[in-house]
Amino acid sequence: MTVTTERRVPNLDSLYTINPDGSHRKIHPADVKGRFQRRKKILWGILIAIYLVVPWVKIGGNPAILIDIGRRQFFLLGNTYNAQDFYLAFFFVTGLAFSLYVISSLWGRLWCGYACPHTVFLEGVFRRIERWIEGSAGQRERLAKSGWGFEKVWRRGLKWAIYLGLSLILSHTFLSYFMPVEKVFEATVSPPSHNPTAFTFILVFTAIIYFNFTWFREQLCIVICPYGRLQSVLYDEHTVNVGYDRTRGEPRKHYKETDRGACIDCFRCVSVCPTGIDIRNGTQLECVGCANCVDACDDVMDKIGQPRGLIRYDSQAGFHGLKRRLLRPRTALYGVLLVIGLVVFLVMASGRTAFEARVLRVKGVPYTLDGDVVTNVYSLHLVNKLPHRAEFRIAQKPGSPVQLVIPAPAVTLDPFGAQRIPIIGRIQRAALKPGAKIEVTVVTGETHREIEEVFLGPN
């Protein structure tokens, strides 16, 4: 068997990617082919296409997904939200978190290995370009160790130039989720002083993306990502992860020896690992569940005529020959919390109206007495949450004893526009009863709301 990179002495007390002096040890994972690689390639192609295309997609003339923080407007698949709907984000984010908990407790780091944007772009784009320019793992390692001659300068220069271009594309696309894509384009072709915020955003994010994919790489998963750190509390013995079948594999020996297990100690699984670990040492924090070692070992098993699956997706129970349980207390609990969050989100989201209307008492004296007439002054705060101009008709609710004077009974508001409309309430002092209130109706299109506010008077 061919070993493409240096053999690594396992040191379980420190990260493989950190040298004894604390510096970053660059990893050059070997190429691998196999069924999981094919699935990942297809999935990553789809995910990258979605990421790049979504900012350009419109639904009903509005962006399909846009979190316009500057104007406090949010668009999600044809629905529009404003700052007053921000509480929905809590249910949305907790729903996502519990979905991840359910997935993690069932299938470990499936998200990390297959769908995390960091993995998708690092393995699906940046690493491929590196392989294309600098060659195989062995060639890359030699290039890294060589001095700065002509070959290293042009190969590194070309790679870094392409990385910079890609980082710019990714940061502009990322900005398009927070600013309409037309404005991003406009900001790109105009001087930085015209759009200083967008320019700074692009500058910072391009630098972060470039730094991450050029140098930091797997350190993000190992050192920074909180989800990776959470894994150990989400797992149990029935969680499916990438693992090594020790019972079948040991004692590991050269393939020519006879009294050995299935592992021929070829180190192929280690050489393809993007975080540099040896999965034969057991489940480790650094493992992102990418299945490179599964494909690599399956290939080795095919070559030596052994059944596949020495490294495979299985639970700890499965590796010990026990039956795996899908439904456990933790999966049931996470599932119930997910369903509760989802139901609350859907109920809240479906209950939101096309506009916000609140009647507030204006500052100053609570009421005035003019002869026998008691007067209260209010302000109706109206917010159009629709993505188009809309007319709002404001009126007194029929039968209400307090007479209302509404100087602007019909107002037209721009998309997400807001206006304060004064309302004056009057009633004869003799007719004023305890618990009196004003009752206002606001109508736009098919949507109708009634608002009440206390009416104050003497005694």
Which residues in 307-366 contact ligand SF4 (CB under 6 A)? 310-311
Rounded least distance, CB 348 to ligand SF4, Å: 39
Residue 386: CB partners within 8 Å, gap ≥ 6? 80, 354, 355, 415, 444
Q: Which residue has 């949010």 as its token pair?
A: 74
171 versus 292: smaller Cβ distance to ligand SF4: 292
135 versus 282: smaller Cβ distance to ligand SF4: 282
Rounded least distance, CB 224 to ligand SF4, Å: 16
Rounded least distance, CB 381 to ligand SF4, Å: 54
* 292 touching ligand SF4, by CB under 6 A: yes
**Contacts by residues 135-142 (CB-CB < 8 Å, ≥ 24 positions apart):** 136/4, 136/30, 136/31, 137/4, 137/5, 137/28, 137/29, 137/30, 137/31, 137/271, 138/4, 138/5, 138/28, 138/30, 140/28, 141/5, 141/6, 141/28
29 within 8 A of 271, measured Cβ to Cβ: yes
Rounded least distance, CB 161 to ligand SF4, Å: 29
Rounded least distance, CB 330 to ligand SF4, Å: 22
Rounded least distance, CB 213 to ligand SF4, Å: 17
309 versus 417: smaller Cβ distance to ligand SF4: 309
Rounded least distance, CB 310 to ligand SF4, Å: 5
Residue at 17: amino acid letter: T
368 within 8 A of 413, measured Cβ to Cβ: no
Beta bridge partners of 376: 425
Rounded least distance, CB 34 to ligand SF4, Å: 11
292 versus 376: smaller Cβ distance to ligand SF4: 292
8 versus 358: smaller Cβ distance to ligand SF4: 8
Which residues in 236-255 contact ligand SF4 (CB under 6 A)? 242, 244, 249, 252
DSSP 412: E
311 versus 338: smaller Cβ distance to ligand SF4: 311
Q: What are phi and psi of 422, to 5 degrees?
A: -70, 145
Q: What are phi and psi of 372, to 5 degrees?
A: -95, 5
Rounded least distance, CB 277 to ligand SF4, Å: 5
Rounded least distance, CB 109 to ligand SF4, Å: 8
Q: Which of 296, 359, 436, 440 binds ligand SF4 (CB under 6 A)?
A: 296
269 versus 380: smaller Cβ distance to ligand SF4: 269
Closest to 291 (Cα-Cα) out of 30, 91, 114, 64? 114
248 versus 381: smaller Cβ distance to ligand SF4: 248
User: In angstroms, rounded to a whole number, what is the distance separating the alpha carbons of residues 318 and 247?
Assistant: 11
Residue count of the chain: 459
Q: What are phi and psi of 374, to 5 degrees?
A: -95, 135
Coil, helix or strand for 373? strand
Q: Which of 27, 300, 402, 436 binds ligand SF4 (CB under 6 A)?
A: 300
* 122 touching ligand SF4, by CB under 6 A: no
19 within 8 A of 25, measured Cβ to Cβ: yes
Coil, helix or strand for 406? coil
205 versus 313: smaller Cβ distance to ligand SF4: 313
Beta bridge partners of 315: none
114 versus 334: smaller Cβ distance to ligand SF4: 114
Stretch that binds ligand SF4, among 205-213, 296-304, 356-364, 406-414 (CB under 6 A): 296-304
276 within 8 A of 292, measured Cβ to Cβ: no
Q: Is residue 392 exposed (0-12), middle (13-18) or buried (19+ Cβ within 10 Å)? A: buried
* 116 touching ligand SF4, by CB under 6 A: no
* 288 touching ligand SF4, by CB under 6 A: yes
Binding track, positions 188-227, relative to ligand SF4; x by CB under 6 A? ----------------------------------------
Binding track, positions 253-282, relative to ligand SF4; x by CB under 6 A? ----------xxxxxxx--xxxx-x-xx--
32 versus 404: smaller Cβ distance to ligand SF4: 32
| Site size toward ligand SF4, by CB under 6 A | 30
- Per-residue CA distances from 87 to 100, 101, 351 (Å): 21, 22, 13
User: In angstroms, rounded to a whole number, what is the distance separating the alpha carbons of residues 199 and 186?
Assistant: 11
DSSP 174: H
* Interacting residue ranges for ligand SF4, rule: CB under 6 A: 242, 244, 249, 252, 263-269, 272-275, 277, 279-280, 287-293, 296-297, 300, 310-311
